[in-house]
Structure 1
Amino acid sequence: MRVLLASPRGFCAGVNMAIDALELAIQSLPGPIYVYHEIVHNKYVVDRFRSQGVVFVDSLADVPEGATLLFSAHGVSPEVRQLARDRKLRAIDATCPLVTKVHLEAIKYANLGYTIFLIGHEGHDEVIGTMGEAPEAIVLVETPEEVDRLTVVDESKVAYLTQTTLSVDDANRIIKRIRQRYPDVASPPKDDICYATQNRQEAVSVLADKADLTLVLGSQNSSNSQRLAELSREKGVNAHLIDGVEDIDPDWFENVDSVLVTAGASAPEVVVEAVLDFLQDRFDATVEARTLRTEDVSFPLPRELRVLSTR
């Protein structure tokens, strides 16, 4: 068997920053450390931190007053930030800067009186946080068909933003329809879909048809990981989204000579290595690294933790 190992894959700069922040908080601050929602959407990462005593909560009512609370990489709404202040929590903001960028864009357009079309998935943590910045001004749009049903007060003052982890192709189809209906629609000068999401999708787009099967390392609630599996299937190559080697069914590999392996932006490299070991041991696979782009992006730790990192 031949294994094509896609690169870039795995952790992006925002995920690295959030994980580094939580690790430093565990080492330097009195516990337990609480995290609002999952730090990143990955079962392996969340389970590892939970084993270290981290408490993940979906409501700030579950956080004792005065405790340390870390906001995840997906961002939160102003309402959650205010609630943290009301409960006198030591809040550490590990929001990805690229998500913060979308929040700031939402605030800007809302202050200018625009109706904002937010292209994204209902219920995703990032979407909930962004919509919380200006709920009266933002309309969620999930499909091109929904664009046809939109109604706005002033069609000359509309703008669109996107969730950072969307399928580039899916987002572009919605954007195209918005532009057809609202030719003067405003948009950010730089795409909202993050560099890592685009790079990982590009790798699958280029490499999938060179394989008989694609394995995507990532959790089911990871939007960007789901998109990688969907993209492979759109290319006509079956794909499985798995948390790790324990999810693999050997029957998948019947009549399979080549496998593409990649990982979503919240999946750690250790799970990729375990899958490669399995394929090498079970099928005597040879691994060929395929690098389409190099990434050298990094984000600083949250300001609340920077002083701790220098001690």
Structure 2
Amino acid sequence: MKKVKLQDIADSLGVSRTTVWKVFSDKEGVSDELKDKIISRALEMDYSLPEGIDRPDKSKKESSDAPLNIALAVSRPESSIFWMRIIHQIAKEFSKQNINLVYTYLPSKINENYILPASLSNGNTQGMIIMNVYNVKLLKLLSTCDIPKVFFDTAVSVPTSELNGDVILMENYNSVFKLTKHLIDKGIKTFGFIGDINYAKSNHERYEGFLGALDDHNLALDHTLTLTGSIGEDTYKEEIELFLDTLSSIPQAFVCASDYVACLLISSLRKRNIRVPHDILVTGFDDNIESPIAENITTVHVYNQNIGMRLAMQILYRIKYPNMPYELSYIETKVIYRNSSDD
């Protein structure tokens, strides 16, 4: 009979060989629940336990009512209604199932000496939902955590296949394609695009949908009418102002990566006595109505509560079935036409 190795035990549970080694070497960093799973699986596979490693106490396990701890790891904490609806729905789903939601702050930038918060590495967290994290180094560090993970969006330069977890996204490409086509059908021929397409996969997919619609109608894009490079988190307003100052002429329509960007753009256009929709059409994305301006913006509605519910369901699925192939899922969105596109 083939001798059972640590890697065989690790593969059967969907954990790393290092995690199994920690258990059999009596090292810290692995939760009691995972320890019991690893030891039980080793016994099932006729693996000889090292001296000093006790068998799981089944009676203790059966009587335990300790809740799961699932971390919500968030960079750039958001207070907007858009994000709070997602977070609230996650908390609502977990409250029904004796699950603790552990809010964990992550910085937007890290150095080479950065260490993840103890709540993510002390073995007391059984799963993790990651939102609003786009720093490449941080994403790669999170991908090495030996706990089930679900990401809501990711960085453009980090392939979903390298995250070692499930990824959930809102639908981006088709909705912006449809929205842009609607403007083309209105007779619009010159377009601009505003939004940082380098940091978030969602933003990049929206830009690709925009380009796809132009290409489908044989319309060339004047790249001097686009602001798509890296934009500072706190400098969007200033950079849009500077961008508009460089234009010798304005396009017939601007497609924006978000309602936030669209609102800033419309405010800047107003300062220049350029009226929406009389002089130019503008669209956004998110349906994030937190400004009087946003109420009139043609946009793409995102089902925040459905996303929150889906994130909660997916992490519980991943905890229960750690060996199943990772999933990339899209939540459908809906285009909403309003006054900013003259509808």
When the two structures are superposed, what TM-score results if normalisation uses the length of structure 1? 0.34
Compare CA radii of gyration and give the structure with the larger one.
2
- Report which structure shows greater RCO (CA 8 Å, sep ≥6): 1
